Structure 1
Amino acid sequence: MNNINILVVEDDLDINNLLCKILIKQGYSIRSAYSGSEAKMCIEQYDFHIILLDLMLPGIEGEEIIRYIRQLKTMPIIVISAKDNQDTKVEVLRLGADDFVSKPFDTNEVLARVEAQLRRYMVFSNSKNKERILMYKDLVLNRDTVEVTLDGNKVLLTAREFCILELLMANPNKVFTKSNLFEKVWNEEFLGDDNTVNVHISNLRSKLSKIQPEVEYIHTVWGIGFKISDRN
């Protein structure tokens, strides 16, 4: 645990201190930022395994911080915010956040979500006894470096986007239902909310199409789910 570095970005001193306290108690190494500008400086200077991010920040807003991170890094981002309407949740997921916790929050839930995100991220980084490089046409996924390239260009994905793509590429002949994807990637029971899976699939397609618009990589099998496309 003491090798896990977490950045807590929260301008409310009491909430920042609370988050740091519960995370330090679990053995994590913590750095705090109290504004978007300070968060950006920390991200430029230090390496983190996960970031807890408020949205309503002085200096630079949280949404802009997500955009900035996704230009550089793939580590998980958990948004913790009082802006908990559905449109905001969808927006931050589209921007590249991996999870969303509404304020006021339960500290045990925050810890569970941090652990789940770290578990997935570390599996991506350190998984053993698997084929290390997955390839489909000009799309390449490297499990060791947690990197994806398309036609030689690096594709910056969130941890969950990476996991979805890895699952599809590792099983090129299998159709995954939304329930399959949710339960394997989020490690939670699927309760029928298609929106979360749809947003991440849409983000993946958008990022791939920006580099290679002529090729469909993720194919929708109508009424069933998704697979790596067999179309040219």
Structure 2
Amino acid sequence: MANEQNQLTILIIEDDEHINNVIFKALSQEKLLCTQAFSGSEGMIHVTQRDYDLVILDLMLPGLSGESFIQQLRTELQSDIPVIVLSAKDKLDTKLSLFALGVDDYVTKPFEIEELLARIHVHVKRKGINKPVTSYQHKNLILHANTRSVEVNGTKLTLTKQEYQILEVLLKNKSRVFTKQDLYELAWEDHYIGEDKTITVHISNIRNKLKQCDKESYIETVWGIGFRLSP
């Protein structure tokens, strides 16, 4: 669905961790940029902080319910983001009341992930979303090129200019191995003078900052060559 020229942002609001993770993994494999929220209140914070192309919403949520989330989204925020509801409630009057609130689609639990993906495709085409890439994601790491900011598991990282630019280079070229010279010249925009320690120290600093937010490995050392994103 998405390619290097078009990447869509999806907000998943589901308090069941297993279901949330299954959806996140499936959509990420489709090259969609996903944010996970586990309560209606958390989801509301996300939609007030950034724009999303589509919301996947459970109804039975802690804190702010799914119905209340929709009401606030449509009335207070005046947002027309497409919303697909996930719920075990399958009575017709429930569905009709949700459509009246402004829901765009409804998927009954339990559901097949293929059905959810198909419905997302429909709403994306209907919306006519086509925009340049401004964000890049790898595992739980998201880089926002328009604001030059990086977050891991929802936590914003404080990075130096060179640390940010090293991550940006790696995220934009996920399968490529970069030598120390490559990274130095791209991040510092200067000629490499053979100072190996500079890149090594910066990579170490980036890894330490990432580890504070996530146990996942993000940067792999390719011995004798350089660095790339960890698979």
Contact 1:53–1:78 under 8 Å retained in 2: yes
State how far apart, in whole Å, the 2-side matches of 1:63 and 1:8 are.
Answer: 15
- Give the AA of the match of 2:122: A
Quote the residue 2:205 is aligned against.
none
TM-superposed CA distance for 1:3, in Å, is 2.0
Which one of 114, 122, 131 corresponds to residue 116 of structure 1? 122
Quote the residue 1:105 is aligned against.
111
State how far apart, in whole Å, the 2-side matches of 1:22 and 1:68 are.
Answer: 28
Quote the residue 1:77 is aligned against.
83
Larger Rg: 1 or 2? 2
Which one of 91, 94, 97 corresponds to residue 97 of structure 2? 91
User: 1:6-17 counterparts in 2 under 5 A?
Assistant: 6-17=10-21
State how far apart, in whole Å, the 1-side matches of 2:36 and 2:30 are.
Answer: 16
Q: Secondary structure at the match of 1:78?
A: strand
TM-superposed CA distance for 1:37, in Å, is 0.6
Are 1:58 and 2:59 an aligned pair?
A: no
Q: Secondary structure at the match of 1:94?
A: helix
Quote the residue 2:47 is aligned against.
43
- Give the AA of the match of 2:41: S
Q: 1:54-102, CA deviations, whole angstroms, 9 ceiling, x for partnerless residues?
A: 0000000000111111122111100011112111111110000000000
Runs of 5+ consecutive residues of structure 2 not aligned to the other structure: 132-231
- Give the AA of the match of 1:22: A
Contact 1:75–1:121 under 8 Å retained in 2: no
Contact 1:81–1:102 under 8 Å retained in 2: yes
Are 1:32 and 2:36 an aligned pair?
A: yes
Q: 1:116-155, CA deviations, whole angstroms, 9 ceiling, x for partnerless residues?
A: 01110116x89xxxxxxxxxxxxxxxxxxxxxxxxxxxxx
- The percent identity for this pair of structures is 42
State how far apart, in whole Å, the 2-side matches of 1:122 and 1:63 are.
Answer: 26
Are 1:18 and 2:22 an aligned pair?
A: yes
- Give the AA of the match of 2:80: T
Q: Secondary structure at the match of 1:64?
A: helix
TM-superposed CA distance for 1:115, in Å, is 0.5
Contact 1:70–1:96 under 8 Å retained in 2: yes
- How does the TM-score come out when normalised to structure 1? 0.52
Runs of 5+ consecutive residues of structure 1 not aligned to the other structure: 127-232
Instruction: Give the RMSD, CA atoms, in angstroms.
Output: 1.4
- Give the AA of the match of 2:114: N
State how far apart, in whole Å, the 1-side matches of 2:40 and 2:81 are.
Answer: 18
State how far apart, in whole Å, the 1-side matches of 2:37 and 2:102 are.
Answer: 20
Q: 1:21-75, CA deviations, whole angstroms, 9 ceiling, x for partnerless residues?
A: 1100100000010001101100100100000000000000000111111122111
Q: Secondary structure at the match of 1:70?
A: helix
State how far apart, in whole Å, the 1-side matches of 2:31 and 2:94 are.
Answer: 32
TM-superposed CA distance for 1:111, in Å, is 0.2
State how far apart, in whole Å, the 1-side matches of 2:90 and 2:69 are.
Answer: 18
Are 1:3 and 2:3 an aligned pair?
A: no
User: 1:179-218 counterparts in 2 under 5 A?
Assistant: none
